[in-house]
Amino acid sequence: MDEIKSRWELISEKLKSIPSLSPEELQRDREAKYGAIGRATAERYLAHGHGKLFREEIDRYSEPIVRQAALSALIDMIDLDSADIIQKSIDGILSITGETRIKESCDALLALCSEYQQKKQQTYDREEHSLRLHAAEWLEQAGIAGDAVSEVNAEASPRWREIINKIRLDYKEKLDEMVKELCAFISSQ
């Protein structure tokens, strides 16, 4: 009779033979699992923009990793070319942190984005005619001319890309510095 083992004993023996994870491996697994949840939650928020639902979703998880991953995803989405995304990201950051002290930094980010958009538009307005001529010459050199070209898109010209890349680089440096300061403030909380 001693040789007959219960199911519990069999399962216990099997479990003992499986190697256990180290604390570092367990932490990596938690970070991967909850980090993915935080990032996905932030992406859904940026798609629908409902701050209250976003906050409720973040609050459902007691893991700080979810909050940090969501904040990181929102910060990563901050880009000069989309004021709407910047606004949603900032609203999401304010919703998660509850920190009104970062509002000033967030407003500065929006102002920088607006300044960039204005600079871009002013440059385009000032350079449009020469850009169209340059683009037409570029198309002609490529062998595209006559009826094949109804209207030249100045923004598609290599010269415009050079101009906009220079403007973008100047503002990107400022943006990166402001985002770094925002991250430092958030991580100090």
Do the domain assignments include residue 60?
A: yes
pLDDT, tens digit, for every residue of 73-109?
999 999 888 888 888 998 898 888 877 778 888 889 8
30 band by pLDDT with thresholds 50, 70 and 90: confident
**Residue whose token pair is 């001319």:** 145
47-75 mean pLDDT: 88
Look at residue 155 in the predicted model and tell me its pLDDT. Answer: 77
Domain span at residue 157 reads 99-189
Q: Does residue 70 sit in the same domain as residue 107?
A: no
**Whether residue 53 is found in the same domain as residue 104:** no
- pLDDT, residue 81, reads 86
Please determine, for residue 5, whether its predicted confidence score (pLDDT) is greater than 80: no
CB atoms within 10 A of CB 172: 14
CA distance 151 to 55: 48
Q: How far is residue 63's CA from residue 67's CA, in Å, rounded to a whole number?
A: 7
- pLDDT tens-digit series, residues 93-149: 888 887 777 888 888 988 999 999 999 999 988 888 887 777 777 777 777 766 555
In whole angstroms, give the CA distance from residue 71 to residue 117. 25
Q: What is the pLDDT of residue 147?
A: 58
DSSP category for residue 18? S
Four-residue CA torsion sign, 86, 90, 92, 93: positive
pLDDT value at 188 more than 50:
yes
116 closest CA partner among 168, 156, 66: 168
Query: What confidence tier does 44 reach under pLDDT thresholds 50, 70, 90?
Result: very high
* Domains held by the chain: number: 2
| Residues 163-179, mean pLDDT to the nearest whole number | 93
Task: Identify whether 10 is part of a domain.
Answer: no
Would residue 185 count as lying in a domain? yes
Mean pLDDT (the chain) is 83
Tell whether the model's pLDDT for residue 65 goes beyond 60.
yes
3-state SS, residue 146: helix
Q: How would residue 1 be classed by pLDDT, with cut points 50, 70 and 90?
A: very low
**Position 31 in a domain:** yes
Please check whether residue 163 lies inside any domain of the structure: yes
Positive or negative, the CA dihedral 144, 150, 153, 159 is: positive
Burial of 63 (0-12, 13-18, 19+ CB in 10 A): middle
105 with 188, same domain: the answer is yes
- From CA 32, how far away is CA 30, in angstroms rounded? 5
Q: Which residues contact 153 (CB under 8 A, 6 or more apart)?
A: 135
Q: According to the model, what pLDDT value does residue 152 have?
A: 65
pLDDT for residue 36:
92
Q: Do 108 and 187 have their domain in common?
A: yes
Q: How many CB atoms neighbour CB 159 within 10 A?
A: 16
Dig out the tokens for 39 from the structure.
Answer: 């990032």
CA pair distance 42, 118, nearest whole angstrom: 28
pLDDT, residue 129, reads 80
Report the range out of 13-17, 92-96, 185-189 with the highest average pLDDT: 92-96
pTM of the model: 0.73
